[in-house]
């Protein structure tokens, strides 16, 4: 009968496997514990590239051609993303490179191009590259209320106001940018500010007078200013 030896207290606390990793003695005996590895500081060569494609509407070809360099330089120099216009498929194509450092650079660049194609100015859309808490929200008038004929025209007119006064007032009060393209409404801003602007726009669509919406905006923006 083989001799049974009693393990020492130190052997009971920990075991060392053949590779030198320390393992627990009980239920976790089969799970080696290694030191955590740090994230690589540089992108390794041979990494698979990622791609994004952004559709270009027909009515935005002329503005895209006119402002192409204003879009090209921030994407390639700041984000280090390759970008080109595919005339055959009518899409803007973006691709990561070995020089790309930020993992979110590709998505930010795609959002930047998408914002311009939705009607925002380049100076406003470029904020998507520099700030992390900016978002785009798109909806239609019919998502709020079903309007037809002249009722739809009057609803869109209430949103814009005389010479765009109502739209500018909402933008300045909520620190957002708004694009009204027929029945489509696009808002660019932070999450909280988009919510305030959307509520004001929905109130106008539902028929609230602009004066009442302005007073409500002043109250909401005052509360936001006190909070932050």
**CATH code (residue 194):** 3.30.1370.10
* pLDDT 10s digits, 175-194: 999 999 888 999 999 999 99
Both 175 and 190 in one domain: the answer is: yes
Domain stop point among 130, 160, 186: 130
Both 105 and 146 in one domain: the answer is: no
- At 47, the pLDDT band (50, 70, 90 cuts) reads low
**Domain coverage including residue 206:** 135-227
Please say if the pLDDT value at position 38 is more than 80: no
For residue 146, the number of C-alpha atoms closer than 13 Å in the C-beta half-sphere is: 0
Both 125 and 167 in one domain: the answer is: no
Start-to-end CA distance of the chain, whole Å, equals 78
Q: Is 20 left (phi over 0), alpha (psi -120 to 50) or beta?
A: left
Would 177 be classed as within a structural domain?
A: yes
Would 2 be classed as within a structural domain?
A: no
pTM, entire model:
0.72
Both 102 and 158 in one domain: the answer is: no
Both 82 and 151 in one domain: the answer is: no
Predicted pLDDT at 90: 92
State how many domains the chain has. Answer: 2
Both 142 and 220 in one domain: the answer is: yes
| More confident of the two residues 26 and 109 | 109
| More confident of the two residues 33 and 162 | 162
On whether the CB atoms of residues 185 and 178 are closer than 8 A, the answer is: yes
- At 19, the pLDDT band (50, 70, 90 cuts) reads very low
Predicted pLDDT at 45: 52
Please say if the pLDDT value at position 68 is more than 50: yes
Predicted pLDDT at 225: 76
Would 173 be classed as within a structural domain?
A: yes
Average pLDDT over residues 13-38: 55
Would 214 be classed as within a structural domain?
A: yes
* pLDDT 10s digits, 110-161: 999 999 999 999 999 999 998 888 999 999 998 988 888 888 888 888 888 8
Would 42 be classed as within a structural domain?
A: no
């Amino acid at each position: 009968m083989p001799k049974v030896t009693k393990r020492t207290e130190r052997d009971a606390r920990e075991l060392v496997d053949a590779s030198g990793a320390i393992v627990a003695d009980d239920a976790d005996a089969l799970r080696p514990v290694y030191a955590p590895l740090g994230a690589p500081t540089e992108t390794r060569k041979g990494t698979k590239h990622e791609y994004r494609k952004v559709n270009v509407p027909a009515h935005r070809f002329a503005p895209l051609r006119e402002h192409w360099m204003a879009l090209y330089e921030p994407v390639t120099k700041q984000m280090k993303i390759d970008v080109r216009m595919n005339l055959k498929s009518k899409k803007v194509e973006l691709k990561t490179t070995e020089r790309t450092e930020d993992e979110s650079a590709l998505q930010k660049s795609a959002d930047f191009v998408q914002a311009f194609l939705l009607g925002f100015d380049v100076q406003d859309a470029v904020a998507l590259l520099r700030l992390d808490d900016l978002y785009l929200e798109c909806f239609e008038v019919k998502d709020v209320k079903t309007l037809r004929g002249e009722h739809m025209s009057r609803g869109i007119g209430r949103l814009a106001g005389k010479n765009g006064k109502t739209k500018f007032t909402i933008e300045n009060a909520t620190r957002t940018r708004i694009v009204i393209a027929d029945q489509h409404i696009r808002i660019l801003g932070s999450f909280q500010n988009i919510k305030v602007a959307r509520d004001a726009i929905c109130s106008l669509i539902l028929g609230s007078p602009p004066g009442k919406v302005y007073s409500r905006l002043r109250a909401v923006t005052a509360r936001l200013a006190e909070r932050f």
